Amino acid sequence: MSGPLSSVGAVAASELFSSYEPGVAYDEMFDASGMPRPHCHELMQELLATSAPELLQYQAEADRSFLTQGITFTVYGDDQGTERIFPYDLLPRIITASEWRGVERGLKQRLTAINLFLKDVYHEGRILSAGVVPRDLIRSCRHFRREMQGVAVHRDIYVAVAGTDLVRLQDGRFVVLEDNLRVPSGVSYMLANREVMKRVLPGLFDRYEVAPIAHYGQALLATLRALAPTRTDPSIVVLTPGVGNSAYFEHAFLAREMGVPLVEGRDLLVHDNIVYMRTTSGLRRVDVVYRRVDDDFLDPLAFRADSQLGVAGLLNAYRAGNVSVANAIGTGIADDKALYAYVPAIIRYYLGEEPIIDNVETFLCSDPAARQHVIENLDQLVVKAVGESGGYGMLIGPHSTAAEREQFRVKILADPRNFIAQPTLSLSQSPCFINDRIEPRHVDLRPYVLYGDDITIVPGGLTRVALRKGSLVVNSSQGGGSKDTWVLQD
Amino acid sequence: MLLSRVADNLYWISRYLERAEHAARVIDVRLDLGLDRHGPVGGWDFARIYSALRMTVPETPPSNPAALVDSTVFDLANPESVASYVTAARYNARQVREEISSEMWEELNSLFLRLKQAQVDGVWSARPHYVLKLVIEGVHLFQGITDATMEHGEGWQYLQVGRFLERASATAAFLDLYFRDGSMAADGGGHKDHREWVGLLRSCAALEAYCRCYTADLRRERIAEFMLLNAEFPRSVRFAAARIEASLRGITQLTGRGVGGRADRVAGRLHATLDYGQVDEILSDDPEHYVEGIIRYCSQIHSALYQSYMAYPIESALPA
């Protein structure tokens, strides 16, 4: 393939694109012949009329805005508790209306099936008896919560908020890489990116008809209200582990967007199976807890006794039906990376439909044949620990050293249930402003799916960018950044 | 409805900012006056700054103004430095971002960032006036933004109580220092006393207001009257006491708690003492005892506030 721009004289002359290498991945902006895709013409025009110094200035404005707003995350493993801004890329990632419709239908289908699955697993277990999902897989899952067995969950909504990770393959198809069904984060960056985009590049934004996303806070509030057990005017809180948590900014942001209190475990208490918060005018009852605290830390009486982040007695209040917790306790079994491989079968089982969005091919190391294949092809595959997230505990075969592969071989053989492997995907690439040039970088997409009275998805999501050249890891903890995501309206 | 922890955070945001502002002004004024002293070139004595700021003098005291500024303004290892106060205020604000306006947060955050940048620049220790001014202005801006953008409800009242309680006790402690070391003992009229008195008034941002009230004729009993008993000057103890009492009453109403709780009573008594105080009596009687009484009242109000709204026993609040 020749350079993507060689066919457009004016473009080739542009300094900005002089180091744009096409690569083998799907390019979000240019087609295989190097021409801008139709929906990117306007963006191209705008970029050709802009100089590198101007873009640098816009970048500085955007960075400053994030810093003064305090839109930062805390880096773990750094004693200083350093707050960093999440790197923001100026250029939008654009998704057409028709592409989005497919994504939206697929996500709704998936979340519907996953909720049916969770209800089934914690009650009759029909899908296990039918042999569609192996019983062993559930029992051996670190995130399975025995305490939830037989517990009635209000309206059977286990996962009220999901942040599904999608990637686009070489043929342009979106596939699901991970279902994040516990406490998915990043939605505040989606909203903040849009705010900054509209301030920094209003002219470019105005050239497009972009679906708005600012109503996310209201949509989340409506979802949480729908979960309230009984009372007509439910009191809702956001539960955060506290200011030291890496996503603290987001917790405060969402509480502010919804106009509800942001509480820590020490603000709550349980008496006679009713949850209260301690206010200046005495104790006030709480009906719905949007918790951003992991299961393990939620209730020291039920789970980890050493946790100071949770509320003693919360599980009992929950089981008594006096409070709703979103997401429900124990949803982690459905986003176990080994269970992931069964989601297509789960969709077929409960809905009798073919999955609209495919999975990535996945090898479960617990299966002897698959394990053999994984061990023999470690240099080709991506290996992931099933219970990890945030890009930790991963081996990316093609970018690994022999020593790292050997380490993983030993780990896999010692605990096969704990590992899965997937082919190394070439994630789609999107133009990014790097130093003073526009270069392609790999991206994914995390839309946020809300399940209350019905399933709502604000159009778009968080596009994460692997800012290091050639890197496939988009996690903020691993040198990732993000960019604004535009879903176009018809 | 306000979480007890949030009330606590709001209260400390303004206490810390008030401390930062007071410390910045005291340092600025003392360094400026120090240049006018009679004494050997370069022979600085910083003991008075430390006592004015209620700080412990370090084992190896700074030998020049730049070293003093490094330790009392920039040093985050010193919990009583201006930067530590601003950092603590920001830390508290970060925990109540859903309660305060974005404008308030952004101003406080940018004050924090500007101060950090000033330290990184490294050129300001030797010429600290601009940095100290930046802090004072940042605090004023924050207060203006607070009044303009936050609803004047319960949360706002805690910000007021924190600010004026800190101000009342800091001003009282500052006067106490002058009473105790004798520079307010009697009308001396000498150069040294005059310079000290100017320093006192400037440290409380009171010199201009004093002059408008009494002309530039500085007298001991007038200064004491102005700083303790003036009803209109926002940095006098009486003014602060009136605001503390009003805010506590507001909180009582907004929380539906019964009137006449301990905090209300102590604040009312403090306010009345100052409302009906007579400066000649105070000075002829035992002025040190008087200002120490004010400080005691302030700490009683602080504990009563905690007992009523923040750290009340759960048993007392459970439904019967």
Taking only the tens place, the pLDDT of each residue in A367-424 is 899 999 999 999 999 999 886 666 677 898 888 999 999 999 999 999 998 899 999 8
Mean pLDDT computed over A44-71 = 91
| Residue A160 scores a pLDDT above 80 | yes
A242 and A289 housed in the same domain: yes
pLDDT of residue A327: 95
Q: Which residues of B touch A283 (CB under 8 A)?
A: 314, 317-319
- Nearest-CA distance A249 → chain B (Å): 8
Cβ within 8 Å, pair B3-A283: no
Residue A14 — pLDDT band, cuts 50, 70, 90?
A: confident
Residues A317 and A366 in one domain: no
Across the range A2-21, mean pLDDT stands at 62
**By the CB < 8 Å criterion, does A321 face chain B?**
no
Of B256 and A96, the one with more pLDDT? A96
Q: Is the pLDDT of residue A223 over 50?
A: yes
Answer with the one of A322, A340, A374 that is the final residue of a domain. A322
User: Given CB atoms, is A263 within the 8 Å cutoff of chain B?
Assistant: yes
Asked if residue A384 belongs to a domain, the reply is: yes
A280 touches chain B (CB under 8 A): yes
* CA B241/CA A454 separation, integer angstroms: 55
Q: Does A80 have pLDDT greater than 60?
A: no
The mean predicted confidence, pLDDT, of chain A is: 91
Domain assignment present for A237? yes
Distance of CA A351 to the CA centre of its chain: 24
pLDDT value at position B277?
Answer: 93
DSSP for B69-125 reads: HIIIII-TTSTTSHHHHHHHHHHHHHTTTTTS-HHHHHHHHHHHHHHHHHHHH--SS
Its domain, for residue A389, covers: 361-423
Residues A246 and A303 reside in one and the same domain: yes
Please compute the mean of the pLDDT values over residues A134-151 and round it to a whole number: 91
pLDDT exceeds 50 at position A298: yes
3-state secondary structure of A106: helix
User: Does residue A381 sit within a domain?
Assistant: yes
CA distances from B114 to A265, B74, B117, B201, B211 (A): 33, 12, 5, 28, 34
Task: Grade residue A7 by pLDDT with cuts at 50, 70 and 90.
Answer: very low
> Domain ends where: A373, A403, A423?
A423
Residue B194 has what pLDDT?
80
User: Domain for residue A168, yes or no?
Assistant: no
pLDDT at A184: 93
Closest residue on chain B to A284 (Cα): B1
**Residue A303 neighbours by CB under 8 Å, 6+ apart:** A295, A296, A297, A310, A315
pLDDT for res A156: 96
Structural domain includes residue A151: no
Instruction: Tell me if A85 is assigned to some domain.
Output: no
Q: Band of the pLDDT at A2, cuts 50, 70, 90?
A: very low
Domain assignment present for A300: yes
Residue B185: what pLDDT? 67
Give the number of other Cβ atoms within 10 Å of residue A401's Cβ.
8
Q: How far is CA A455 from CA A108, A231, A487, B7, B121, in A?
A: 6, 22, 18, 37, 52
Strands A437-442 and A448-451: unpaired
Total count of domains within chain A: 2
List, in sequence order, every residue forming a beta bridge with A278; answer none if it has no partner: A283
Please indicate, yes or no, if residue A389 is contained in any of the structural domains.
Answer: yes
One domain, residues A306 and A384:
no
What average pLDDT does this structure show over A433-460?
95
Question: What number is the average pLDDT over the span A432-438?
Answer: 92
Judge whether residue A3 has pLDDT over 60: no
- Domain boundary residue, one of A322, A342, A371: A322
The span from the CA of B30 to the CA of B69, in Å, is 12
Query: Do residues A313 and A371 both lie within one domain?
Result: no
> Which residues of chain B carry a pLDDT beneath 50?
none
Q: Are A311 and A293 in contact (CB under 8 A)?
A: no
Average pLDDT over residues A315-329: 95
- In this complex, which of A70, A264, A284 lies closest to B105 when CB atoms are compared? A70
* pLDDT for the residue numbered B209: 95
Q: Domain of A409: which CATH number?
A: 3.30.1490.270
The residue of chain A nearest to residue B91, with distances taken between CA atoms, is: A243
pTM of the model: 0.89
| Substitution target from A280, A286, A308 for chain B, most B beta carbons within 10 A | A280
Say which CATH number the domain at A281 has: 3.40.50.11290
